Amino acid sequence: MSFTIIQHRAGLRRFKQRAEAGEPLAVAFLGGSITEGAGASDADKSSWRALIGAYLADRFGADRVQLVNAGVGGTDSSFGAARLREHVWTRGPIDLLFVEFAVNDGEDRTESLRGMEGIVRQVRRHAPSADICFVYTAADKNLTPGVPFNIAVHEEVAAHYAIPSVSFAAGIRAAIDAGAADWGALAGDRVHPNDEGHALYASFMRGYLAEALGPDRPPSLPDEEAQRSFMPEALEPRNCEFAGMVSPDEAVDARGFVRDTLDGLPLMNWRYDTAHLRALSVDAALTFTVDGWRAGIVLLCGPDTGSFEYSVDGGAFHEVDLFDEWCEMAYRPVPFWLPERDRPGRTTVTVRPTGRSDPRSKGAGLRILKLLSC
């Protein structure tokens, strides 16, 4: 596999048809902090997402183009699959989804396949007329020779489902090799691009869109092959096609918890409602059930977070401590997936605080923001 910027595959056929027919266009951006706009001086004006939104609005008319920002800092593709329903589908039908998780996904190939494939299969089941485009942003790990690990895994999914991809990382790498760019100057922390870096990202995407939506450039796959690739057999049977995220109010039982918000408290990596359930004491216990391969929770971790323990289907309790250096700065959502089942089915989970905490924590709190299923 070559280290190239654009892979056309089946292209954006359906989106192009709607655009040429003068129909309304809804475009969503699902990803991490880079898609949300981190590093840009104004996330809604100078990020690559905002610049591409402006490009589409200029090209097709602002009154025709609806934009959805579903970027959330620090989130990987598995959490992205769980967020999709609440952060995208509730906004209405979409015609094009950009997916960006090549920086935030880790070194677990199976987990990355679960997330990316789950997103694709959700879209094709829920919005079969929508097109998808994978986006690969840069970081040191994505600027290595050849095809970097995370991009290679995402490309497995893209090739399997004939999804076009645009590698900003490949464009940056080519510019560095040509002596035309300095990655440190484009991204001070070598992850989140500044305005110049975001503008360069947007130029790569504009180049792709000009070809994909132009009159002369056909997709690289014939119609028959693209059709076969629409919903083939899954690469990873345990993927997140049916992943979801709901309020902890959906729990079967929540003894010793009270509804709370983070109003007035420092918050990062979350632009949505902070309503959650907070444990009042070590006697608190929350029980919920989900169907699928595995269950999970999203905690609001922050300066006073303690450890918690969970039990699956009435089994032994296992302690987990998610406190880290980021907790000392602000609260943020942190997803935690429980071990998966041998086969999909109903799982009953009980979560409770332990009263213990990391030495750096100012308390031993437990705040549950969401319940997860996959």
* CATH 2.60.120.260 corresponds to the domain 247-373: yes
pLDDT digits (tens, 9 = 90+) for 307-349: 999 999 999 999 999 999 999 999 999 999 999 999 999 999 9
Residues 337, 328: Cα–Cα separation, whole Å: 23
Per-residue pLDDT for 286 more than 80? yes
The model's pTM: 0.96
> Residue 217: which pLDDT band, with cuts at 50, 70 and 90?
low
Instruction: Give the confidence band of 1 by pLDDT, cuts at 50, 70, 90.
Output: very low
- Listed as own residue / partner, the contacts of 318-322 with beta carbons closer than 8 Å and 24 or more positions apart are 319/354, 319/356, 321/356, 321/357, 321/358
Whether the pLDDT of residue 215 is over 90: the answer is no
What residue segments make up the domains of the chain, in order of their start?
A: 6-228, 247-373
Mean pLDDT of 100-107: 98
CATH number of 6-228: 3.40.50.1110
- DSSP states along 182-204: -HHHH-TTSSS--HHHHHHHHHH
The rounded distance, in Å, linking the Cα atoms of 164 and 110 is 21
Mean pLDDT value across residues 184-193: 98
